[in-house]
């Protein structure tokens, strides 16, 4: 099964603004234990935010899943359409992604592997 993912919130190559965007997205959140797969891969995980060429964020209700690709993935930028190849009913480490450029001739970019998924949850403050 192949899913097309529009990277509407995509950003360009790694810059200090990417770091600021990542910091802002994960503000007031604490990381949990990394997992191999996202259970219930559905509409909420089909639109990841591209932070840079090796970091994706998958919103899931009040939680955000951070995926750090094991290697940089050329083509992850604001003009990309992200294509995710899901081999099982779950989005997992080592599933492959690639990009298509908007308005391009449809030549896919290089295939890249997903890394582990780290959940980031809001910190509950004591009253």
pTM to 2 decimals? 0.79
Q: Per-residue b/e over 58-91, b at no fewer than 16 CB within 10 Å? A: bebeeebbbbebeeebebbbeebbbbbebeeeeb
Walking along the chain (127 residues) 10 residues at a time, the average pLDDT comes out as 41 58 92 90 69 91 93 84 84 92 78 96 76
Nearest to 81 by CA among 97, 69, 95: 97
> DSSP secondary structure string, 55-80?
EEEEEETTEEEEEE-SS--TT-STTE
């Amino acid at each position: 099964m192949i899913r097309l993912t529009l990277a509407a919130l995509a950003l360009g190559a790694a810059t200090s603004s990417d770091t600021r965007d990542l910091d802002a997205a994960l503000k007031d959140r604490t990381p949990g234990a990394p997992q191999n797969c996202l259970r219930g891969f559905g509409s909420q995980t089909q639109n990841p935010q591209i932070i840079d060429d090796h970091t994706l964020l998958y919103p899931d209700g009040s939680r955000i899943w951070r995926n750090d690709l094991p290697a940089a993935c050329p083509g992850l930028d604001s003009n990309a359409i992200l294509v995710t190849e899901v081999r099982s009913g779950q989005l997992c480490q080592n599933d492959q992604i690639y990009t298509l450029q908007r308005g391009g001739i449809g030549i896919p970019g290089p295939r890249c592997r997903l890394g582990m998924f780290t959940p980031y949850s809001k910190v509950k403050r004591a009253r």
